[in-house]
Structure 1
């Protein structure tokens, strides 16, 4: 039996989760109707807060893996709904390996899909960065005409977000500036790029998968340190894109693509093992027959 885990950091904002993670889950259930699909939050603190607030139960990663084991599911596919391979993602990978190699559980295979920003497009691999930029631009569409687009990332994975900026500058999206709230590139550096672009109008798009009320207040709220207020002080006409990336159908499809790659790669490995074992089995039968005769 096979099961799929849709794993995100999580959020306490139910509506925002349903319009992002929930939609991705529905698409996964449609594509893989023969598999059990479960949602998990990777933050134990958010699991507890959610379950205290809502009747709809959310499970931790450990709880779902234990449930799958009780159900007799031995092949598990995990698709992280994360932008980058951050600390939370790395912890989940370690947990998955422990389940795979533990004698207490009967898992024969655990495959993990890629986060959104992983492959650089070198050799024959897909370019996750260009695909993400293209998905954002296609979704905002006419809202971005004759405007600079500022992508705001809330995280510390500076290499991935710096790479996203380089990909944009090298032609994928020359009117896009990227900054992070806790690292490099900084907001001030993004402003320098926007100034060079020469547009008076700016569209701010959150590089966050779940568009929580807290995030939107930080971007466009009436507080004096909101991104909207800071840009307005610089003389720009500002619009805020009030959605998380998880609501973007093009980004949703990129996650489905990563899950599909994990499933196909797993199938190829299984078939390869079967083909390598078959000749050995045939040879063994011939040797046994020879010994009997």
Structure 2
């Protein structure tokens, strides 16, 4: 029986971020499950369109599933690349996959990395490993957030970090979601923090990192933190570049019996 793992992420336009983050995470999965064929899909229509304009073609989730059917695969496991079970996961994975459930002998949708409150412990352990802090330094991590449906995953992770005494402050880019910049700034000021390490809480680098987090625009997180009087060190790498983070996807897949 032909078996495949389909790694479904939002996608990224930047070639270096694609190779270093998304493709690297996919390779980690492939190495852990050599008996499976590894394929990828990007759920963002905008990113697939921009890549196609550059001559780079990546399947949508529907296209990838249709291709797996045509190629005779009977068992498919979908591993979302998302950190949280937000709108993108619900609308572009769960809803899209539903019509295909009867078309394969077995179709499994694995979990995003922080779908459940208990998942925060795994993520926190990885963050502590990949972000060694200098003396007196606090870590500011910026995730994506959701424009229409608040996701408590970031606040759950923050609570885990606070309980563990790890000096991290987590915010989101999406201006209509929380914890926003103002909430993070208030935490930092209440603590009396002065030295910061700023990094993305995102699978891949790209526009969000280069513009929203560490860009030259006045409204970037970097410039606003500096304007507030903090000394800021920046890491631009997406989490997908770190093997410890990549292995979280393997851990999610290990929850399933296949």
2: CA distance, partners of 1:116 / 1:144: 27
Which structure has more relative contact order (CA 8 Å, sep 6+)? It is: 2
Q: Name the TM-score, length of structure 2 as normaliser.
A: 0.91
Instruction: Compute the displacement of 1:197 (Å).
Output: 2.8
Instruction: Compute the displacement of 1:242 (Å).
Output: 0.9
Which of 157, 161, 170 is the matching residue for 2:163? 170
Q: 1:161 to 1:214 in 2, by over 3 A?
A: closer
Instruction: Compute the displacement of 1:218 (Å).
Output: 2.2
> Is the CA contact (8 Å cut-off) linking 2:113 and 2:249 kept in structure 1?
yes
2: CA distance, partners of 1:115 / 1:108: 23
For structure 1, the residue ranges without an aligned partner over 5 or more in a row are 122-127, 268-293
Instruction: Compute the displacement of 1:160 (Å).
Output: 1.3
Instruction: Compute the displacement of 1:131 (Å).
Output: 1.6
For structure 2, the residue ranges without an aligned partner over 5 or more in a row are none
Q: Which residue of 2 aligns with 1:68?
A: 68
Instruction: Compute the displacement of 1:172 (Å).
Output: 5.5
> Is the CA contact (8 Å cut-off) linking 1:147 and 1:199 kept in structure 2?
yes
Aligned length: 251
2: CA distance, partners of 1:226 / 1:100: 43
Instruction: Compute the displacement of 1:144 (Å).
Output: 4.2
CA deviation vs aligned residue, 1:168-190 (integer Å, no higher than 9, x gap) = 222252x1111123311121121
Q: Which residue of 2 aligns with 1:147?
A: 137
Which of 114, 127, 130 is the matching residue for 2:121? 130
> Which stretch has the larger CA shift, 187-196 or 16-25?
187-196
Instruction: Compute the displacement of 1:137 (Å).
Output: 2.0
Describe how 1:65-214 pairs up with structure 2 within 5 A: 65-91=65-91, 92-101=93-102, 105=103, 107-121=104-118, 128-141=119-132, 143-156=133-146, 157-171=150-164, 173=166, 175-181=167-173, 182=175, 183-214=177-208
> Is the CA contact (8 Å cut-off) linking 1:219 and 1:226 kept in structure 2?
yes
3-state DSSP of counterpart to 2:233: strand
2: CA distance, partners of 1:192 / 1:45: 35
Larger Rg over CA atoms: 1
1: CA distance, partners of 2:134 / 2:212: 21
> Is the CA contact (8 Å cut-off) linking 1:130 and 1:172 kept in structure 2?
no
3-state DSSP of counterpart to 1:223: coil
Pair 1:231-2:225 in alignment? yes
Describe how 1:261-280 pairs up with structure 2 within 5 A: 261-262=255-256, 264=257, 267=258
> Is the CA contact (8 Å cut-off) linking 2:32 and 2:250 kept in structure 1?
no
CA RMSD of aligned residues (A): 1.7
Pair 1:260-2:254 in alignment? yes
